[in-house]
Structure 1
Amino acid sequence: MITNESDLPPRLGSLTFHGPLSEARATRMIERLAAAEPADVLDIGCGWGELLLRVLEAAPAAKGAGLDINAEDLARGRALAEERGLADRVAFVEESALGTDRGPVDAILCLGSSHALCDPELPHDPAVALRELRRLVRPGGRVVLGEGFWERVPTEADLAGMWPGARAEDHFTLGGLVDLAIEAGFRPAWIETASADEWEEFESGYRYDTEVWLATHPDHPLADETRERVDRQRSTWVNGYRGILGITYLTLVAVA
């Protein structure tokens, strides 16, 4: 089957950040990071690196590196860096973060990407990711970790509506995550969680372009498989983890 790429829906074009993160919350995070005057910033699972670029704008002496395995997102990040005059201060690198030697640095961003620090053959373990983050940051350095947690422990009925194979063991509670961070050698300087509005903005923005495309291209050769994928994604949210799965943003300081 031959299709014209210009006929396909844009990928995540309606999202500023690849996660439930508002402009206001991002600004506060950036201000706290920039106040520490980092010399180098590492973004793990950076996507197109919007938050990384904003940190570099707020900390003009800093240089940054963003790691991801999605070439399309990285290309978007490089284009954004060029537009903002930051291309000489940031590198977007297509590589795995597993076992990376790109530390130690003064600041790390790891939002929704801690799995990139863990063995993909094993169940995701935030404790392992936190120990890796501590290895990669200098004493006194900052880490902003965005991590999923259970707002309440899900029932079997809740889990049945989520992603395939969802288990109660997939996430910790918020208190459990904070305890793991302390055990890994951090102090939790700031603890915050995504609001319902941030979740709705993200979830709707994630599918917006594709939903509009489906409405205007109902007979496209790829419409059926795209519709099935998007309907499945949306259902796991509205019929599954909505109000149960939370995202916390932990600003952590590495203990000397």
Structure 2
Amino acid sequence: MTAPDGPPRLTRLTFHGPLSESRADRLVARLAAGAPATVLDIGCGWGELMLRLLAAVPGARGIGLDLNEEDLARGRRNAELRGLADRVDFLAESATGTGRGPADVVLCLGAAQALSSLEPPGHIPAAFEALRGLVAPGGRVLFGDGFWERPPTEGELAAMWPGAHAGEFTDLAGLVDLAHEAGFRAAWIDPATLEEWDEFESGYRADVEEWLAAHGDHPLAAQTRERADGHRARWLRGYRGVLGLAYLTLVPVG
């Protein structure tokens, strides 16, 4: 989006989540070691990690599913620039009940809600059940989702998103238990660091904050400022240091 329409959208982010370059390299290397032929990315956004995995495994093919057309278009442009366009499809499709599997690697990074219509916390077990049916025998699932680093206080919950409650997430051990109950073993457990979170949150907001500084009299400035201030308050007064995110490399039980 250009200045007359509002701020640019997420141009400062490489990944749509708290993920550093070094961690991304490790995740891709682990998944590429199995020489997957097919990759399915649930709620892919622009599919950065999927594209890196395809680049690391010559001949592998990928499918990314998302409903955000702007993100999908960004993924297609990136695939074209990297010479991967003939090996990946970015599809505007719901992942709920999808028949796009099974795949050798299934990515579901912050997108558990895309696999069912259940509200938290029920969406996590439902996501694991769906993923169990989408991964090929001997394949891998890379699952990223939230957990409580510690029990949130009432004040912290009140400062988070509307309706936030302590039962919305488990702790990290509980998240891994849910994966095991669904028929997986967690080969690798990688919690995001606070530094990764802060980098993501700042990158998420940077376009908007710089646009507001330069376009304070724009017709959209007031509502944009309200949204930006609300997001910053939820982060700094609510979930910073309380909400974690773990990347679980899951192996389906045979």
**Fold match (TM-score > 0.5):** yes
Q: Say whether the 8 Å CA contact 1:151–1:246 is kept in structure 2.
A: yes
Q: In the alignment, residue 89 of structure 1 is paired with which amino acid?
A: R
Q: In the alignment, residue 102 of structure 2 is paired with which amino acid?
A: P
CA distance in 2 between partners of 1:182 and 1:169 (Å) = 20
Task: Name the structure 2 match of 1:207.
Answer: 205
**Deviation (angstroms), 1:154:** 1.0
Equivalenced residue count is 253
* 1:6-43 deviation digits (Å, cap 9, x = unpaired): 43211000000000000000000000000001010000
Task: Name the structure 2 match of 1:46.
Answer: 44
CA distance in 2 between partners of 1:130 and 1:172 (Å) = 15
Task: Name the structure 2 match of 1:217.
Answer: 215
Q: SS at 2:86's partner residue?
A: coil
CA distance in 2 between partners of 1:145 and 1:245 (Å) = 16
**Aligned partner (choices 178, 197, 202) of residue 176 of structure 2:** 178
CA distance in 2 between partners of 1:38 and 1:27 (Å) = 16
Q: SS at 2:117's partner residue?
A: coil
Q: Say whether the 8 Å CA contact 2:120–2:168 is kept in structure 1.
A: no
**Aligned partner (choices 56, 60, 63) of residue 61 of structure 2:** 63
**Deviation (angstroms), 1:125:** 2.2
**Deviation (angstroms), 1:157:** 1.4
- Over the matched positions of the two proteins, sequence identity in percent amounts to 63
The ranges of structure 1 where at least 4 consecutive aligned residues each deviate by more than 4 angstroms after the TM superposition are 120-124
**Deviation (angstroms), 1:255:** 1.2
2:243 is the alignment partner of 1:245: yes
Runs of at least 5 residues in structure 1 that lack an aligned partner in the other structure: none
CA distance in 2 between partners of 1:86 and 1:42 (Å) = 15
Q: Say whether the 8 Å CA contact 2:121–2:169 is kept in structure 1.
A: no
For the aligned residue pairs, the C-alpha RMSD in angstroms reads 1.2
Q: In the alignment, residue 219 of structure 2 is paired with which amino acid?
A: P
Task: Name the structure 2 match of 1:105.
Answer: 103
Task: Name the structure 1 match of 2:164.
Answer: 166
Q: Say whether the 8 Å CA contact 1:78–1:87 is kept in structure 2.
A: yes
CA distance in 1 between partners of 2:26 and 2:60 (Å) = 18
Counterparts in 2 of 1:1-256, with a 5 A limit?
Answer: 5-7=2-4, 8-120=6-118, 124-256=122-254
CA distance in 2 between partners of 1:48 and 1:17 (Å) = 8
Q: SS at 2:176's partner residue?
A: helix
Q: TM-score, normalised by structure 2?
A: 0.97
Q: In the alignment, residue 84 of structure 1 is paired with which amino acid?
A: R
* 1:209-230 deviation digits (Å, cap 9, x = unpaired): 1100000000000000000001
6-15 or 210-219, which moves further after superposition?
6-15
Q: Say if 1:187 and 1:120 are closer, same or farther in 2 by CA, change over 3 A.
A: closer
Q: In the alignment, residue 238 of structure 2 is paired with which amino acid?
A: G
